[in-house]
Amino acid sequence: MSHDGPICLVSSYPPRLCGIGTFTEEAREFIARANPGREVVVISHTDGAGEGVFPIIDMQRADWWRPVVEKIRDLDPYCVHLEHEYGLYEYVDERGIGDHNRGFIALLQALADVPTVVEPHTVHGRLRDTEAEFIYQTCEAADVVLLKCHYQKWRLDWTFPGYGWPVPRNIMVVPHGARSDRRWGIDEVPKLRAELGLDQVAHLGPHLVGLVGWIQSNKRWDILTSMWEEIQAEIQARTGEEWDLLAAGTMRDPNHLKDYERYREELELLESKGLAHYYEFVPRGEIYYKVMAVCDFVVLPSTDETQSGTLARIIALNKPYITSAPMEGLTAQTLESDGGLLFTTKPMLKEKVIRLACNPELRMDLGDHLKRYLDEVVAWEVVAGQYNEAYALAREAVRTRSCVELEPEF
């Protein structure tokens, strides 16, 4: 096991339209910056591509993990960093029966002598039995497991003893990284609007409330669109300002087609009244940030989320926001950052949108809180440093044939 080997990421990867793939593309950039002189390579699914990317994960075969083990042996990596989401590693047989990610655990077990760090992207506060079993097995087989929020770690102190299991001690909390180099000033917004072609939309007012990101059933854009006409009228009555709704993104999962079409119909009706605009784009890369940057604030009305790449980009732009609660990582990061407002009912959402639109001082305060939270807690530069700590712990565990022991949260 050489010291000059690469850091090897195992994950989905672009051009696949996948939130984990987009995350890994960005994480890889900053891991490389934090490790000058060390190569950062990716083992991806067969639809991944790019320099230093090995697209060999074939989920059509039950033993998909065996070629991955062979490639990792060839690479002789400094550390293996695996991004996990259940759907990415679920083998489904000819009868339509899934294997509950058994291949992923087999992969970790086959790499027992290689430093491994696993970063699960979905760890609910209240785990299903199969999820609890998977997290426990992952902690047993990996050297270090990275959870994104503190509540995910301290909830295990309750969940696992309920099954009669010991609580793993090899868990670190490392938040979802956010860029610190995409903070455009207010004076740059007109230029960004022109770049996006929004200056050609005649009815679009100077102030925008954003619904931005992948269009999915759980994102529930309709909660806001169904009330926008009366919200907009109330804001105009109070401030005399023109506010419009900018809904921007696209669908990636055909299973969400019905809701996508319903959201589009509602937006088209609002557009016909000059109250909103739908802007279609793939939420990836710099354009993702530019679309958010032209909004005065963003609404993220998700009904199922443990943590969110959309929220990471909101934070990256120091953009005030409103999101649903109690909602796992969305609520946790809102409390920790003090950079957003929370709602639990439609009347609350309506009141919070009107309040934020009518109060520029509040928007400024929330943005300042997010700037501090970004710089001190979730900037990729900070997160990449924490990744390096995890890699060092994993390497030491393998070298000494010992287990990583970290302090509990409480």
Rg over CA atoms, the chain: 22
Q: Are residues 73 and 218 in the same domain?
A: no
Q: Do 133 and 103 belong to one domain?
A: yes
Residues 227 and 327 grouped into a single domain: yes
Residue 261: count of CB within 10 angstroms of its CB: 12
Beta bridge partner(s), residue 82: 10, 118
Classify each residue of 322-347 as buried b or exposed e, where b means 16 or more C-beta atoms within 10 Å of its C-beta.
bbbbebbbbbbbbebbebbbbbeeee
Q: Which domain holds residue 169?
A: 7-177+380-400
Please give the DSSP secondary-structure letter assigned to residue 244: E
Specify the pLDDT at position 17.
87
Q: Give the residue from 228, 224, 222, 225 showing the smallest Cα distance to 243.
A: 228
61: Cβ–Cβ under 8 A, 6 or more apart, which residues? 91
Instruction: Examine the domain organization and report whether 365 and 384 are in the same domain.
Output: no
Q: In the numeric block, which tokens belong to residue 187?
A: 């004076």
pLDDT of residue 361: 98
**Number of residues that this document lists for the chain:** 410
Structural domain tally of the chain? 2
**83: β partners:** 119
Instruction: Write the CATH number for 72.
Output: 3.40.50.2000
Say whether both 156 and 288 belong to one domain.
no
Q: Are residues 90 and 232 in the same domain?
A: no
On whether residue 242 sits in a domain, the answer given is yes
Q: Which neighbouring-strand residues pair with 243?
A: 207
Is residue 378 within 8 Å of residue 179, measured between CB atoms? no
In a domain, 205, yes or no: yes
- Nearest partner of 69 among 107, 101, 42, 106, judged by Cα: 107
Token pair listed for 161 = 């003893």
Number of helices (H) and strands (E), helices first, in the chain?
A: 15, 13
For tokens 């060390």, name the residue.
38
Does 55 share its domain with 73?
yes
Q: Do 225 and 265 reside in the same domain of the chain?
A: yes
409 within a domain of the structure (yes/no): no
Asked if residue 385 belongs to a domain, the reply is yes
| Average pLDDT, 10 consecutive residues per value, the chain (410 residues) | 84 94 96 97 98 98 98 98 97 95 98 98 94 98 97 96 97 97 90 94 93 86 94 97 94 82 87 93 92 96 82 95 94 97 97 98 98 98 98 97 94
One domain, residues 170 and 233 = no
Residue 255: predicted pLDDT? 85
Domain assignment present for residue 238? The answer is: yes
Same domain, 42 and 150: yes
Distance from C-alpha of 20 to C-alpha of 218, rounded to nearest angstrom? 17
For residue 270, CA distances in Å to 228, 246, 322, 388 come to 8, 11, 21, 48
Q: Considering the domain boundaries, does residue 254 fall inside one?
A: yes
Return d(Cα 38, Cα 36) in angstroms, integer.
Answer: 6
In a domain, 2, yes or no: no
368: in domain: yes
Strand order in the sheet with 340-343: 276-280, 243-250, 207-214, 297-300, 321-324, 340-343
CA dihedral 293, 214, 367, 373 (to 10 degrees): -120
Token duo for residue 313: 């980009």
Location of structure tokens 């207010």: 186
DSSP secondary structure letters along 9-33: EES--TTS--HHHHHHHHHHHHHHH
d(CA 290, CA 212): 11
